[in-house]
Amino acid sequence: MTAFVNQLPIGLSIGAVLLLIALGLTFTFGQMGVINMAHGSFIMAGAYTAYLLQDLVLALPAAFLVAGAMGLVLERLAIRHLYGRPLDTLLLTWGVSLVLQQLARDLFGAPNVQVSAPSWLSGGVGILPYNRLFIMGLAVAGVVGVWFYLTRTGLGRRTQAVVQNRQLAATSGIDTGRIDMLTFFIGSGLAGVAGVAVTLIGPVGPALGDYYIVDAFLVVVAGGLGQLRGAVLAALGLGLLNSYAEFWSDASLAKVIVFAVIIAFLQIRPQGMFVLRSRALT
């Protein structure tokens, strides 16, 4: 029982990191249908930003801007030309992530580096270490922020309009190109924030993003496309499942178990937890 309780903060904080990453994917994959394999590299970029600054409070906005800017450039230079070809985009962005990873290796060296956590994050309440609590808080703030942006701001509503009917949105005077840029900026920026969060629980290396990105995509698959509720539940579920599977079985079996659970879940809910029902065929 104590083991069960002790494992809880680990599972929840992994879930929180996945949630932050998946929030970014909700924007780029969910809203725009782009499978961005470079999303993992943006996580890494955020983490290295934290490493360079060595100051958590500064790092959060800085990482958001750095990763967001990288996403913006990627969208303008390449992805924009491939809309409607999601699988090609996947391969293209993987090429980008290869280049970015090698760049990180050349700039910062292949060995892992450490970001020192601020002193006010050492310690904790009961079984909850402050650093993990902080990550959970960050995820909550991320969800609230995204929800507020999408439903309560004019730009967010326009974003939703573009998602639901691009042509109609364009004819009603929305500059869809700009919305795409903004959406990509925010989605990638969130990856940067997730990168900062990751530095609180582990070392930073060029392949940092690879470790999380596959799971984060699974969150989107299980949660349902472009669904905030689904992303939250799926991220927490996956985080907990991951850490408990690792704990109770062999660590090496955990991912297989997670995979099997996802496939089983898709037998019940093939389109994820929440689906926008529509009358269209596809």
Partner 1 sequence: MIRRHLPFATVAVIALVAAPLLLEPFRLGLLAKYLCYAIVALGIGLAWGKGGMLTLGQGVFFGLGGYSMAMYLKLTEAGGAGGGLPDFMVWSGVESLPALWVPFGNPVFALGMAVLGPMAIALILGTLVFRQRVRGAYFAILTQALAAAMVILLVGQQGLTGGTNGMTNFFELFGQDLAEDSTQRGLYLVVASVLGLLYLATRQLVNSRYGRLLVAVRDGEDRVRFLGYDPALVKTVTFAISAGMAGLAGALFVPVVGIISPALLGVVPSLELVVAVAVGGRHALAGAVLGAVVMGYAKTAFSEQFADGWLYLQGALFILVMTLAPKGIAGISRSIAGRLRHARAT
Partner 2 sequence: MLELRDVQVIFDGFRALDGVDLTVPEGELRFLIGPNGAGKTTLIDVITGLTRPAAGSVRFGGADLVGRKEHEIVRMGVGRTFQTSVVFEALTVIENLDLAATFRKPLWSLTRRRDGVSEAVEEALARTGLEELAERSAGVLSHGQRQWLEIGMLLAQRPKLLLLDEPVAGMSKDERERTGELLTEIADDHTVIVVEHDMDFLRRHASVVTVLHEGKVLVEGSVDEVSADPRVQEVYLGRRAGDAVGNRP
Within residues 65-124, the interface with partner 2 by CB under 8 A covers none
- Structure-block tokens of residue 239: 């985080």
Long-range (24+ apart) CB contacts under 8 A made by 157-161 are 159/31, 159/183
Among residues 91, 144, 275, 276, the one that binds partner 1 under rule CB under 8 A: 91
**Alpha helices, DSSP H, located in the chain:** 2-25, 39-53, 56-77, 86-108, 130-152, 154-164, 166-171, 176-199, 208-223, 228-248, 251-268
β-partners of residue 113 are 204
Count of chain residues binding partner 1 (CB under 8 A): 47
Q: How far is the CB of 225 from partner 1 (least distance, A)?
A: 9
Site string for partner 1, 102-131 (x = CB under 8 A): x--xx-------------------------
Site string for partner 1, 1-40 (x = CB under 8 A): ----------------------------x---x-x-----
Torsion, Cα 236 239 261 258, to 10 degrees, reads 170
Q: How far is the CB of 122 from partner 1 (least distance, A)?
A: 31
Residues contacting 193, CB < 8 A, separation 6+: 20, 46, 60, 63, 64, 67, 138, 142
Within residues 242-281, the interface with partner 2 by CB under 8 A covers 277, 279, 281
Among residues 8, 53, 90, 240, the one that binds partner 1 under rule CB under 8 A: 90
β-partners of residue 128 are 125
99: partner contacted, choices partner 2, partner 1, none (Cβ within 5-8 A by kind)? partner 1
Q: Does 96 bind partner 1 (CB under 8 A)?
A: yes
75 contacts 184 by C-beta, under 8 angstroms = yes
Nearer to partner 1, 87 or 125 (CB): 87
Residue 32 to residue 64: CA distance in whole angstroms: 20
The dihedrals phi and psi of 113, each to the nearest 5 degrees, come to -120, 165
Nearer to partner 1, 156 or 237 (CB): 237
157: partner contacted, choices partner 2, partner 1, none (Cβ within 5-8 A by kind)? none
Residues contacting 214, CB < 8 A, separation 6+: none
Within residues 212-231, the interface with partner 1 by CB under 8 A covers 214-215, 217-218, 220-221
Residue 63 to residue 43: CA distance in whole angstroms: 9
Cβ atoms within 10 Å, residue 217: 19
Please report, as ranges, the residues that interact with partner 1 according to CB under 8 A: 29, 33, 35, 78, 81-82, 85-92, 94-99, 101-102, 105-106, 210, 214-215, 217-218, 220-221, 250-256, 258-259, 262-263, 266-267, 270, 281-282
Binding site for partner 2 (CB under 8 A): 277, 279, 281
